[in-house]
């Protein structure tokens, strides 16, 4: 009964998000504005030696940059308002501009950052994420929630993963934009990322809409096990025929580095990519079924009984 209640709550929350404030015409206009913002950031990246050098240092090639629409937000307060002076109201509504206090002019939210367009599953840009290229804080900054963007429902890279493979065999939730980009550089094109929030049931429904299986990979530390526990509890009520979820814990990153090195010989051919995908699947124990049989508490108390994997 609890599973049905949680599942019903999740579906109702998803429907509320789909029908949130803002009429269709208004949303259409806002999406068009964000498309123009994205084009502005892409042009700005072409004119930014610092931005280009940063992406090269991170190993991001031109093809991946183009596929994900990466850009650059110029430093300063008014580059966006100068570029789009007739869209101030829409830029504020989408969170790209911050209203000025006491009658002052609005200013741009993102400054001197590499920009990542955030798309919904249909491919519409609904917001942006920005990453600093130095030591400034916060390192990552997302658009605020708006009539278009709900971080509890949108996954970075989902549209690109669907576009790359049609219906992927499985999807891999990872931690952030650069994890998705880094895997894409290696030809692993079915990774997605949450946007500064724990995975939600709405995220899971979006993943299951796109693929029949989800493979979670978590660090083996306390934070990773805590995140896994949350994901397990959100996933259980949503499992049904045709949906599968698996969990893998990386207790020793060096072990993974060695496995990958042995598997790929340092190169990422199409065959090696397929082998790496299979490696993830093989190592991803079907922890969900074990929890159904034994309960969360037993796995927490007896981690060594489950191939050394544990949750807390």
pLDDT tens for each residue of 61-70:
999 999 999 9
With a pLDDT cut of 70, the percent of the chain lying above it is 71
Give the helix ranges, DSSP H, for 58-186. Answer: 62-68, 79-83, 88-93, 158-165, 177-185
Question: Domain map of the chain by residue range?
Answer: 20-142, 152-306
Handedness of CA 299, 179, 160, 6 (dihedral sign): positive
Question: Helices 201-210 and 2-18: crossing angle, nearest 10°?
Answer: 80
**Please, which pLDDT band fits residue 148 given cuts at 50, 70 and 90?**
very high
**Tokens describing residue 125:** 């840009």
- Average pLDDT on 126-141 reads 94
Question: Tens of pLDDT along 75-95?
Answer: 999 999 999 999 999 999 999
> What was the pLDDT predicted at 296?
47
Q: What Å distances lie between residue 219 and 87, 175, 184, 216, CA to CA?
A: 43, 10, 20, 10
Band (167; pLDDT cuts 50, 70, 90): confident
pLDDT mean over 240-259: 73
For 235, what's the count of Cα atoms within 13 Å in the CB-facing half-sphere? 26
CATH topology of domain 152-306: Dna Topoisomerase Vi A Subunit; Chain: A, domain 2 (3.40.1360)
Average pLDDT rounded to a whole number, residues 8-36: 71
CA dihedral of residues 136, 138, 143, 144 (deg, nearest 10): -140
Fold of 20-142: DNA primase DNAg catalytic core, N-terminal domain (3.90.980)
pLDDT for 292 beyond 60: no
Domains 20-142 and 152-306 agree in fold: no
Mean pLDDT for 137-159 is 95
- pTM equals 0.81
- Residue indicated by tokens 């191939």: 307
């Amino acid at each position: 009964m609890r599973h049905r209640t949680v599942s019903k709550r999740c579906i109702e929350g998803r429907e509320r998000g789909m029908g949130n404030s803002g009429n269709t015409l208004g949303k259409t206009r806002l999406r068009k504005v964000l498309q123009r913002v994205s084009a502005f950031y892409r042009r700005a990246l072409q004119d930014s030696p610092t931005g280009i050098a940063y992406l090269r240092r991170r190993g991001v090639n031109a093809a991946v940059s183009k596929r994900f629409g990466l850009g650059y937000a110029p430093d300063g307060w008014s580059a966006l308002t100068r570029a789009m002076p007739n869209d101030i109201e829409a830029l504020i509504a989408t969170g790209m501009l911050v209203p000025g206090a006491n009658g002052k002019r609005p200013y741009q939210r993102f400054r001197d950052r590499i920009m990542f367009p955030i798309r919904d599953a249909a491919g519409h840009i609904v917001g942006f994420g920005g990453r600093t290229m130095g030591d400034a804080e916060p390192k990552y900054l997302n658009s605020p929630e708006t009539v278009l963007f709900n971080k509890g429902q949108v996954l970075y890279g989902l549209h690109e993963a669907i576009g790359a493979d049609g219906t992927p065999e499985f999807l891999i939730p990872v931690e952030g934009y650069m994890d998705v980009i880094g895997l894409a550089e290696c030809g692993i094109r079915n990774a997605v990322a949450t946007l500064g929030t724990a995975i939600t049931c709405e995220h899971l429904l979006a993943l299951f809409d796109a693929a029949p299986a989800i493979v979670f990979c978590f660090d083996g530390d306390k934070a990773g096990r805590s995140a896994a526990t949350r994901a397990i509890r959100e996933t259980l009520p949503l499992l049904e025929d045709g949906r599968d979820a698996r969990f893998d814990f990386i207790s020793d990153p060096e072990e993974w580095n060695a496995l990958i090195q042995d598997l790929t010989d340092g190169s990422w051919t199409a065959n090696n990519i397929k082998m790496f995908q299979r490696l993830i699947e093989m190592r991803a124990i079907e922890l969900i079924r074990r929890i159904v049989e034994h309960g969360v508490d037993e796995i927490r108390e007896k981690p060594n009984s489950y191939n050394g994997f544990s949750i807390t």
